Amino acid sequence: MKKNKKPVVLITGYLGSGKTTLLNNLLKQEKRKVALIVNDMGSINVDAEILKKNGSNVTECPMFELQNGCICCTLRDEFIEHVEKISNLDSIEVVFVEASGISDPGAVSASFLAYEEDNPNTNVYLTSIVTVVDGDRIYREFLSELKQKKEERDSLAEKYDLSDEEISTLIVDQIEFCNFIILNKCDLLSADQLKEVESIVRDFQPRAPIIHSVNGDIDIEKIMTTNPFNYDQIDSSSAIQKATATLTQPGRKNNGCVDEYGITSFVFEARRPFNRDRFMEFVNNRYPSQLIRSKGYIWFSDASMDVQLFEQAGRNSSILPVSYWIDALREDVKQSYIAENPEIKENWDTQFGDRENQVVFIGKGYNKDDIIVELEKCLDERAYA
């Protein structure tokens, strides 16, 4: 192996499992010069914005944002282009890649393998594929499906028939194709429930260490290695064989994860604040069950200074103040920030400044128009406080 090659750590896992939180925690521990590639399937890259606001080292890191698709399919070429750029940055020592929640890690690694084979002198190499598993969600929503999938797995062909791919198969793919598993949100399960989840995870992934975590808080050394990722350890039934085959198919098309799994997304944007009571009533009582994952920044009419981060994953949701709107800062501080970051004026409103509701909704079988109507009912017609 070429000396001083940059290790690449790929972080994958289903929607809402805690990938961004994990990456944020890892960045706070990593002392080397880091580059980031952050992928979000929505048309706005919320994960990248969270890292910018909360990651202690992010302002010093080159960050490449890929959105409105997945690096395993529709954004494959762009992903490889960014890998190539990073490989030529002498100052970078390690690369972290956060895949979207519906990315197939086998397909991502197949692209990386093809890149390494075509560029034997590249300065980067894949070392770790880390799958973040939402232990609570596996137990509450997918445990019975995963058990059935294990029992009915009579043939490899049946397991990987993509014509009627289920979300549970995607979760299995992510669990199978990795060399480290972070079993997250362990605090939401009893000891017996946690044992049951770990058992089913181990059924699909017999080799990778399973690391328990709460809020993605782990010791970075547990997932870091200098050894190249061992593609040969993956069984012939794994996603790598399927993904590698697609790379060589003549006239192949990037149909995308959205089509493959029936998962779609849309962005809701509004320049009026939400009424807190109306929004909370909608989230708590009338939230569509077809929405798998939602995430974005919102503002309430009774808290015009605060940037609120809204997140929903399955049955769980949260709203937390994470920062201040630039327009809410003291005038001299605001003008100084704008002078240093002139791009913020591109989306500046004369009345509300940078305040805006901007949320990505991801789901399967939902009615977009109905959801937009419900959200618009939550907007406050009054002037904000």
pLDDT digits (tens, 9 = 90+) for 39-92: 886 666 666 666 665 544 544 678 888 887 888 888 889 999 999 999 999 889
* pLDDT at position 31: 87
Report the percentage of the chain scoring pLDDT > 70. 81
Q: Which of 177, 41, 69 is nearest to 113 (CA)?
A: 177
* pLDDT at position 383: 54
* pLDDT at position 355: 94
pLDDT digits (tens, 9 = 90+) for 136-189: 999 988 887 777 666 655 443 343 333 334 677 788 889 989 999 999 999 999
Q: Which of 148, 109, 115 is nearest to 127 (CA)?
A: 109
* pLDDT at position 42: 66
Question: Domain residue spans in the chain?
Answer: 6-255, 263-378
Which CATH code is given to the segment(s) 263-378?
A: 3.30.1220.10
* pLDDT at position 385: 47
What span, in angstroms and rounded, lies between the C-alpha atoms of 110 and 372? Answer: 38
CA distances, 274 to each of 238, 295, 310, 311, 368 (Å): 45, 15, 12, 15, 19
Q: Which of 130, 105, 120 is nearest to 225 (CA)?
A: 130
Note whether 382 and 300 are within 8 A (CB). no
pLDDT digits (tens, 9 = 90+) for 6-41: 999 999 999 889 998 999 899 889 888 999 999 886
pLDDT for residue 261 is more than 70: no
Mean pLDDT of 270-281: 96
pLDDT for residue 305 is more than 90: yes
What span, in angstroms and rounded, lies between the C-alpha atoms of 8 and 102? Answer: 20
Residue owning tokens 């004026």: 345
Fold of 6-255: Rossmann fold (3.40.50)
